[in-house]
Amino acid sequence: MALIPKTTEMLARDRRNPDRWHQVLPMDEFLRAAFGGRFKFGVDPDYEATLRIRTGSMFCWSCGAETRIVLYLEIAVGDKNVLITIPNLGEYPRASEMVRRRLLRHQGIGVIKYRFSGSQGRKYLSNGCVHCDSLIGEFYELDAGRDEEPLDTYQVRVADGWKEVIDSRGWQDTWSVRS
């Protein structure tokens, strides 16, 4: 049998329990997959992921009014949970466009878009004030008081632009045989 671990750090006592392994399959099947290019790294694109949009409230540095921003996205796949902030999500245009559109359904939250930051000398995907649209800089996001409940929870297909996001956040250690 071919035994494929869930992580590189597997406890010795778990090695004897087939349920503790990520995948267990006959050796010939494993070899066919490996030579056929189906033994792959990272999250399986066929999976669905649960996305939770986590928000917080703060006072705008520019207009002084209270506004709500996205602190981070929580992405749950299988038994793993990874987090990504809006500026980091900006490196993945497909995923960030989906989130931007999803946020338009909600009132009272600033638009997610690329804004120019004078202090960083570059444009990046950012939160903005819901009242005056000023950039809420990524370091100021830390000042926001975190809301208890997620603003939104929904399912996405990993294949729809989320694989790169999830792999970049801690799925590096996972290999699997794809059908």
CB neighbours of residue 14 within 10 Å: 13
Distance CA 126, CA 117 (A): 9
Which CB atom, from 60 or from 112, has the smaller least distance to Zn ion?
A: 60
By CB under 5 A, residue 176 contacts Zn ion: no
Which CB atom, from 41 or from 59, has the smaller least distance to Zn ion?
A: 59
Identify the DSSP state of 143.
G
Which CB atom, from 29 or from 66, has the smaller least distance to Zn ion?
A: 66
By CB under 5 A, residue 63 contacts Zn ion: yes
CB 67 within 8 A of CB 51: no
Min dist CB 85 to Zn ion, Å, is: 20
Among 102, 115, 131, 169, indicate the residue that binds Zn ion (CB under 5 A).
Answer: 131
By CB under 5 A, residue 111 contacts Zn ion: no
By CB under 5 A, residue 62 contacts Zn ion: yes
Distance CA 9, CA 16 (A): 15
CB 71 within 8 A of CB 60: no
Question: Site residues (CB under 5 A) for Zn ion?
Answer: 60, 62-63, 129, 131-132, 134
